[in-house]
Structure 1
Amino acid sequence: MVTNDEGIVSFKHKVIEEVARLAWNDELSDDYFDELVYKLVPGPKATFRCCIYKERELVRQRIRLAMGKCPTAEKEKTSSNIIQVLDPACDECPIASYIVTDNCRLCMGKACLNSCHFGAISIGRNRSYIDPAKCKECGKCAAACPYNAIAHLERPCKKSCTTGAITYDEDGLCIIDEEKCVQCGHCIHSCPFGAISSKSYLVDVIKAIKAGKKVIAMCAPATEGQFGNDITMASIKNALIKMGFADMVEVGLGADMTAAFEAKEWAEALEEGKKMTTSCCPAFINMLKKQFPEEFEKNKSTTVSPMCAVSRYLKAVNPGCVTVFIGPCIAKKAEAADESISDNADYVMTYGEFRALLRSKDMKLTPVEGEYQEATVWGKRFASSGGVANAVLECMQEMGVDTSDIKLRKCAGGQECRQALLLLKAGRLPEDFIEGMMCPGGCVGGPSKHMAENEITKAREELLSAADKRKIIENLKKYPIDKFSMYRDGHMDS
């Protein structure tokens, strides 16, 4: 799978792998950190950066991220964001957003000069020149140029951010506005210099396992198909137990739980003529909460996400256990850290981090004979765009609710989500319900997906075709849902 940061993503994961090895061996100390820096960047010549010293500083910052910290001690004092910028890596993009190219003919009309109201354009000997200190990035000069000689160089991190959370300081370094950031993580893989990354909590997971705690993994519905058509949920479970986890549960079971409770909410909303949004995607919920606070209070589902549902179930039947979510999502790390939602996952790891954890124990995923299925096919398909809404409708039908007239708006990607919420805010949304997912294609298109989405989808369909056709409500009768809350505020059904 080709990404903007393909050339360095393996190196990022190598740092995490080596830190995990130190954690397994009880060697997390400053002395070993220095050894690790020189092991990863032996020199004498630089590989990625201008000099060996910058590369080593970046490794030091990545080691801190791999331990769940900010890249520097200074940032630790001011930032709580899951997504962080490594400043030494963020210095290769051009500061100017608009530049004049060789297409400039120094025409007599001087349309660019005449269109600029800020005095940013001057006429040089061979071409026009834009002063980046004066340019307001309005784009009028580019629109006015008859030769298309002015190019808009939108930096990839900013282009990928649909919430306007990314700006730059006077030196051109990326700044993430934590009040606007929804933690979707798309900026991470958009940066070709690896300047943006997220905190990792593998060290905490390893410490919990080594301390003898009952650590239970929870694998996202998107997992099936991520590693090919021969790696089933049983394969993942087998590897995790060998690694030291007490057990693994598929979060598709939590998706069944969420679908059943959202079905009740949707049925009530239909009677009231009220529009609602889904609650599964944490980045979508963050967008709703930060940019549409009134709609967050009035229109969002109060049901917890599948991750939280499974975590609460596990903690209800295994008091004191530690729950670890594994999936393609960066925003789940922020959801787990949200103290307003009780008994959620204790830690979250991405597929890249999961693979690094496997390598730190010299393990590989292998095919396993035998069946393992806790979720319905509806719960398993939560990971794809439309999957949440389809599961909720299935539950409503199982409850005897007529769904023939329900109109759905299925949003996949930040722009689609934002457009739907703007219509909801304006009172012009024609649909009854919004399914919001911040990743194109749904969770299977998440920032930490292991393969290209088309490859994952092909493998998923083969694996899901082997699942039995159990019904959602019938499946949930096996589980003690009355022992824990399915609502964000923690209240129990009366």
Structure 2
Amino acid sequence: MVTNDKGFIPLKHRVIEGLARLAWENNVNQESTEKLIREISPGPKAIFRCCVYKEREILRRRVRLACNENANPHRQSNNVIQVIDPACEECPISSYSVTDNCRLCLGKACQNSCHFGAITMTDQRAHIDPMKCKECGLCASACPYSAIAQLTRPCKKACPVNAITYDENGLCVIDDERCIRCGQCVHSCPFGAISTKTYILNVIEAIQTGKEVFAMCAPATEGQFGKDISMGSIRTALKKLGFTDMVEVGLGGDMTAAYEALEWSEARKEGKKMTTSCCPAFIHLLKRHFPDQYHENMSQTISPMAAVSRYLKATHPGCITVFIGPCMAKKSESQEMGIEGNADYVLSFGEFTSLLRSKDISMEPEVKAYQEASLWGKGFASSGGVANAVMECMRERGEDTTNIKLRACSGGKACVTALSLLKVGKLPEDFIEGMACEGGCVGGPSRHKAESEIKKARESLMEEADTRKVLDNLKNYPMDQFSMMRENTMSQASPAPLVKN
């Protein structure tokens, strides 16, 4: 699979791994990090940029992000997604440019259509002054030779909510109030100029202090590392790292499905449409761009990540919970949304594997079976999986779901379309499943392999799982010890979903 990020992802992970090695030795300081930077970019010749000085400055910004700090020390932002300014300067400033197809025709339709005097004629072709151009596109439409091309930067093209603009120097600027933290811009930038804060040092510190630290692996984990690496394999590797234990978040999928089933049943009786609430980027989309629908139509059930974290904190008071998955928005859910009892820290798959390398640990095939979730909970990783699990819970409780209409939205633009229809009262479906990534969480921006490889490996691993029912599975867990509601305190718990009609 050809991607934009192959050249800089290994560099990013090398920085994280190097810092992790320093952290295990309690040796993270200005001197040691500067030494790490010079090991990666020794000079005198540059390896991946125009000069060694620029390389090192970019690496310093990456070190800041890896230490959970803002990339720019002079710019304050709570957004987990950040722009590395020195790396963002190779894209063309102008959105419209004249190509070799220009014939310098006598008609000059492009020049005549421009209301801002941005187009002049040179000896060879027309020229568009980027300082005067308002990017209206009239010149491109008017040209009879289609000689004017519109160039949309990859980061801007990937953003489903138009949260990306550019300053006077052409540097990328993320509007934190519009950004939904989906992370699509991060891997779309071919220069690696957009990245996220990392909590790997926080996780190492928690392990070193001797606290109980539990890893929580996303449903999308299965298949990310090949068909031979099961959840049991990952659990063993995490214990070698120093984690107390691991719980698969597919169990949280079972929990979320059971409670959302109750909400959907009630909404159905009232003739009210509802949306899911497990994708944090989708929640940001609702809250920031469709506030009325956020308050009126969103499920109040917490996400699977928050559910497992609350379960662990209820049964192991004082423990630290760390989510591992392909989602960048989960970092925002953990740090920004203020959900009581949620995960303390979030690591991407790449950060997790960097952490393993920092202790020279490899994941190995394991025969011993490990399963805490039903197949329905595991299915939360794929588009349509959440809705299918909720419907299964409704059926397990004796409800007829034959006439329910579902809309599974895969990708930010599909989510925007569905919510726009809901806003104007023209949504034909009863319920919306919203996932900001194409294909669902398995297509997340921090996935470890190509989607086709992941799908094939997942199918193999899913065949080994048993076919337990969702509600029967939850009887094995203390659902009465914590709340599954977003706004409630953890003391307001209810085992109601386990009761069949």
- Name the TM-score class by shorter chain: over 0.9
Partner of 2:14: 14
Distance 1:429 1:443 in 2: 24
Residue 218 of structure 1 aligns to a residue whose secondary structure is strand
Residue 418 of structure 2 aligns to a residue whose secondary structure is helix
Q: CA deviation at 1:339?
A: 5.1
Match of 1:234 among 215, 232, 235: 232
Q: CA deviation at 1:465?
A: 1.0
Partner of 1:444: 442
Q: CA deviation at 1:338?
A: 2.5
Distance 1:176 1:428 in 2: 32
- Point out the more displaced range, 437-446 or 138-147: 138-147
Partner of 1:225: 223
Q: CA deviation at 1:340?
A: 2.5
Alpha carbons 2:158, 2:184 under 8 Å: kept: yes
Match of 2:144 among 143, 146, 150: 146
2:93 maps to amino acid: I
1:29 pairs with 2:29: yes
2:400 maps to amino acid: D
- CA offset digits 1:38-69 (Å, max 9, x no partner): 11111110011111001011111111111111
Question: After the TM superposition, which segments of 4 or more aligned residues of structure 1 sit over 3 Å from their partners?
Answer: none
**Superposition pairs of residues 299-448 of structure 1, within 5 angstroms:** 299-338=297-336, 340-448=338-446
1:3 maps to amino acid: T
Q: CA deviation at 1:493?
A: 4.7
Match of 2:213 among 212, 215, 236: 215
Distance 2:391 2:359 in 1: 43
Alpha carbons 1:327, 1:350 under 8 Å: kept: yes
Residue 117 of structure 1 aligns to a residue whose secondary structure is coil
1:192 maps to amino acid: P
Partner of 2:194: 196
1:44 pairs with 2:23: no
Residue 127 of structure 2 aligns to a residue whose secondary structure is strand
- CA offset digits 1:137-184 (Å, max 9, x no partner): 111111111111101110000000011110000000000000001111
Distance 2:346 2:299 in 1: 23
Alpha carbons 1:420, 1:429 under 8 Å: kept: yes
1:216 maps to amino acid: F
- CA offset digits 1:54-87 (Å, max 9, x no partner): 1011111111111111113212xx2111000000
- CA offset digits 1:114-157 (Å, max 9, x no partner): 22122111122211111101111111111111111101110000
1:257 pairs with 2:255: yes
Distance 2:488 2:233 in 1: 34
Alpha carbons 2:482, 2:493 under 8 Å: kept: no
- CA offset digits 1:410-448 (Å, max 9, x no partner): 100011000000000000000000000000000000000
- CA offset digits 1:380-404 (Å, max 9, x no partner): 0100000000000000000111100
Q: CA deviation at 1:2?
A: 2.9
Alpha carbons 2:322, 2:343 under 8 Å: kept: yes
1:66 maps to amino acid: A
Partner of 2:83: 85
Alpha carbons 1:341, 1:490 under 8 Å: kept: no
- Point out the more displaced range, 110-119 or 237-246: 110-119
Match of 1:111 among 109, 112, 137: 109
- CA offset digits 1:316-343 (Å, max 9, x no partner): 0000000000000000000000352101
Alpha carbons 1:20, 1:203 under 8 Å: kept: yes
Partner of 2:499: none
Residue 23 of structure 1 aligns to a residue whose secondary structure is helix
Residue 160 of structure 2 aligns to a residue whose secondary structure is coil
Distance 1:81 1:2 in 2: 29
Alpha carbons 2:240, 2:361 under 8 Å: kept: no
Distance 2:368 2:214 in 1: 20
Distance 1:338 1:90 in 2: 26
Partner of 1:247: 245
Q: CA deviation at 1:357?
A: 0.4
2:40 maps to amino acid: L
- How many aligned positions are there? 492
Residue 112 of structure 2 aligns to a residue whose secondary structure is helix
1:10 maps to amino acid: P
- CA offset digits 1:208-258 (Å, max 9, x no partner): 000001000000000000000000000000000011000000000000000
What is the Cα-based RMSD across aligned positions, in Å? Answer: 0.8
Distance 1:127 1:412 in 2: 43
Distance 1:272 1:72 in 2: 50
Residue 447 of structure 1 aligns to a residue whose secondary structure is coil
- Point out the more displaced range, 218-227 or 333-342: 333-342
Residue 243 of structure 2 aligns to a residue whose secondary structure is coil
Distance 1:339 1:275 in 2: 24
Distance 2:332 2:7 in 1: 27
Partner of 2:265: 267
Alpha carbons 1:163, 1:181 under 8 Å: kept: yes
Distance 1:232 1:82 in 2: 30
Alpha carbons 2:479, 2:493 under 8 Å: kept: no
- CA offset digits 1:268-311 (Å, max 9, x no partner): 00000000000010000000000000100000000000000000
Q: TM-score w.r.t. structure 1 length?
A: 0.99
Partner of 1:54: 54
Distance 2:151 2:282 in 1: 28
Distance 2:422 2:35 in 1: 55
- Point out the more displaced range, 386-395 or 141-150: 141-150
Percent identity of equivalent pairs: 64
Alpha carbons 1:44, 1:52 under 8 Å: kept: yes
1:367 maps to amino acid: P
- Point out the more displaced range, 118-127 or 444-453: 118-127
Residue 7 of structure 2 aligns to a residue whose secondary structure is helix
1:44 maps to amino acid: P
Alpha carbons 2:110, 2:143 under 8 Å: kept: yes
Runs of at least 5 residues in structure 1 that lack an aligned partner in the other structure: none
Distance 1:154 1:363 in 2: 42
Match of 2:281 among 258, 283, 299: 283
